[in-house]
């Protein structure tokens, strides 16, 4: 038999994961510096299976404005190059048959604004995810009330706690967004 504490604990865990996921997604949006995490969202069609790039290659950062991708299987170099070109990163790969080099160009004002839009979109996706978790928790609370396992007072208190969790986690996402926007716009 589920209790209101179980429901709230579950909602808190799921909301926390959503905030953490938002943080990780923000790290994949590039700023002026090269970082291996830029390529975290890139998946490659490797023999019919979508595989994360970091499982197919070693990613290096030899200098501040350069990434290198060294595939474990040299025959996958074309597929990796194509996936990087088709991503929203705006990078132009060049390869020498063994390694792909990704120069990180200086960001233009226009590109910075585009990246801010991408970051805002990611933030909104995660805020929506947090609100869906809240809706889910509220639905389960209603079910407990309908089954007479929880009284109306407990339901109201639990709803307030779920709403407070939602507000806290949404605020965390907004803080991450504000920080990332400042980082992207910094020249």
Question: Residues 33-65: pLDDT tens digits?
Answer: 677 778 888 888 888 888 898 899 998 888 878
53, 78, 103: which is the final residue of a domain? 103
Torsion of CA 141, 142, 146, 151, to 10 degrees: 60
Task: Give the total number of structural domains in the chain.
Answer: 2
Calculate mean pLDDT across residues 125-147.
92
pLDDT of residue 2: 66
Q: Which of 67, 87, 103 is the last residue of a domain?
A: 103
Q: What is the mean pLDDT of residues 113-129?
A: 91
Pair 95, 112 in one domain: no
pLDDT score of 1 more than 60: no
pLDDT digits (tens, 9 = 90+) for 75-96: 888 888 888 888 877 788 888 8
What is the predicted pLDDT for the residue at 161? 93
Mean pLDDT for all residues in the chain: 87
- Nearest CA among 52, 34, 32 for reference residue 44: 52
181 and 113 together in one domain: yes
Q: Check whether 178 has a pLDDT greater than 70.
A: yes
- Structural domain containing residue 91: 36-103
Query: What is the reported pLDDT for 150?
Result: 80
pLDDT at 19: 92
φ, ψ for residue 56 (rounded to 5)?
-110, -10
pLDDT at 132: 96
- The CATH code of the domain that includes 164 is 1.10.132.20
> For residue range 65-76, what is the model confidence (pLDDT) as tens digits?
888 999 998 888
Instruction: Choose one of 84, 103, 122: the last residue of a domain.
Output: 103
pLDDT at residue 70, as a whole number: 92
In this predicted structure, what is the pLDDT of residue 32?
A: 66
Q: In what order do the strands lie in the sheet with 94-95?
A: 57-63, 66-71, 100-103, 94-95
Helices vs. strands in the chain: H and E counts, helices first: 4, 6
């Amino acid at each position: 038999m589920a209790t209101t504490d179980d429901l709230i604990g579950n909602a808190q865990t799921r909301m926390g994961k959503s905030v953490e996921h938002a943080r990780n997604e923000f790290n994949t949006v590039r700023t002026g510096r090269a970082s291996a995490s830029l390529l975290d969202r890139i998946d490659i069609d490797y023999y019919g299976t979508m595989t994360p790039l970091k499982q197919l290659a070693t990613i290096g950062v030899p200098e501040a404005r350069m990434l290198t991708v060294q595939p474990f299987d040299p025959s996958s170099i074309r597929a990796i190059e194509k996936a990087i070109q088709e991503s929203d990163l705006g990078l132009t790969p060049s390869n020498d048959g063994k390694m792909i080099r990704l120069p990180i160009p200086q960001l233009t004002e226009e590109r910075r604004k585009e990246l801010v839009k991408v970051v805002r979109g990611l933030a909104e996706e995660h805020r929506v995810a947090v609100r869906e978790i809240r809706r889910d928790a509220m639905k389960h609370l209603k079910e407990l009330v309908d089954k007479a396992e929880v009284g109306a007072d407990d339901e109201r208190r639990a709803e307030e706690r779920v709403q407070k969790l939602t507000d806290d986690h949404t605020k965390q996402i907004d803080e991450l967004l504000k920080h990332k926007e400042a980082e992207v716009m910094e020249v």
